[in-house]
Amino acid sequence: MDRLVHEIEQAAREAGAIIRSAHGTELGIENKEGRANFVTKYDTMVQEFLTERLRNILPEARFLGEENGMDLFTSEDAEGYLFVIDPIDGTTNFIHNLHPHVTSIGLFKDGQPWAGVVYAPVTDQLFSAQRGEGAYENGVRIHSSRQGLSDNIMLTGTSGFSMSAFAVSQKLTYAFQERCQGFRSTGSAEYNLCMIASGRAGGYFEMKLGLWDFAAGSVILEEAGGRITDYHGRPLTYREGSGIVALCEGIAADENLPDTGAYWDMWDGK
């Protein structure tokens, strides 16, 4: 793996140390737009820390992040290097001192994800991947499950932002339920993708995510032999947030899965 990726890993570990130090302190919780959407002073602090730290590592890179006001992909982002950062993915967990909450750093090259680093500070798990170089957990190569649905646990999103998305997700969960070993929900999209990449879970779907919620994990999952698409099975555009369906190698090969696209079409988009 490129030295650049190892430097990003180090930056993610340092961000994680800031997050670990937060417990027992005043978090400075504020409401953002919409339902169950919070930001704390640590989200902002870690975003600022990473922006400066990563700028030193790769001065020519542009930045897109959840907490820095630069959250729209522009035409200039489609060329060269672009960091797509979520300082804390799983902020609601973080607020409740619940694992997982992770720092995630995606690095795009010419508009496509090229490397991803996800660090879970509570469990000291570092996931990373570089396009064409495989995926790793704490330096050990990982691969997604080659087993089918009946031998896997599935993960579901929380869809805290929308009751109508929650209702459709519940229906899709029901459709998968009888064929898998049941569902879990972690509250962090990036961590979910790493759980599939490392063979612990078989799949995950969520109807609305920010680009920073899957920018890093998508490379990690694909490098671990898994697949990530929209609900209709199409490749992601990586130009904005979207709904995602993420599957391990074994489940991606199943031709009789519930039709996620049909469920997507039931959602009013609100």
Residues with Cβ within 8 Å of residue 181, at least 6 apart in sequence: 150, 151, 152, 153, 154
Taking CB under 6 A as the rule, does residue 105 contact ligand 2AM?
no
Output the six-digit token pair for 37: 């959407």
Q: Tell me how far, at minimum, the Cβ of 102 lies from ligand 2AM, in Å.
A: 9
* Residue among 16, 224, 198, 245 at smallest CA distance from 120: 16
Taking CB under 6 A as the rule, does residue 34 contact ligand 2AM?
yes
Indicate the helix (H) or strand (E) that contains 88: strand 81-89
Taking CB under 5 A as the rule, does residue 66 contact Ca ion?
yes
Taking CB under 6 A as the rule, does residue 189 contact ligand 2AM?
yes
Answer for which of 103, 188, 198, 218 binds ligand 2AM (CB under 6 A) is 188
Closer residue to ligand 2AM, CB minimum distance, 88 or 142: 88
Closer residue to Ca ion, CB minimum distance, 216 or 248: 216
Answer for which of 77, 89, 137, 249 binds ligand 2AM (CB under 6 A) is 89
Question: Which part of the chain contacts ligand 2AM (CB under 6 A), choosing from 49-57, 82-90, 142-150, 167-175?
Answer: 82-90
Taking CB under 6 A as the rule, does residue 152 contact ligand 2AM?
no
Q: Rounded distance, CA 229 to CA 188, Å?
A: 18
Residues with Cβ within 8 Å of residue 194, at least 6 apart in sequence: 102, 118, 120, 125, 127, 137, 217, 220, 221
Residues with Cβ within 8 Å of residue 167, at least 6 apart in sequence: none
Q: Which amino acid makes up residue 164?
A: S
Closer residue to ligand 2AM, CB minimum distance, 86 or 137: 86
Closer residue to Ca ion, CB minimum distance, 86 or 137: 86
Residue 125: contacted member of ligand 2AM, Ca ion, none (CB under 5 to 8 Å, by partner type): none
Residues binding ligand 2AM: number (CB under 6 A): 20
Taking CB under 5 A as the rule, does residue 86 contact Ca ion?
yes
Residue numbers 36-65 binding ligand 2AM by CB under 6 A: 37
Q: Which amino acid makes up residue 101?
A: H
Output the six-digit token pair for 160: 């805290």
- 3-class secondary structure for 101-168? CEEEEEEEECCEEEEEEEEECCCCEEEEEECCCCEEECCEEECCCCCCHHHCCEEECCCCCCHHHHHH
Question: Which part of the chain contacts ligand 2AM (CB under 6 A), choosing from 89-97, 117-125, 131-139, 232-240?
Answer: 89-97
Strands 38-39 and 135-137, by their bridges, are: unpaired
Binding site residues, ligand 2AM, CB under 6 A:
34, 37, 66, 86, 89-92, 157-158, 160-161, 187-189, 206, 208-210, 213
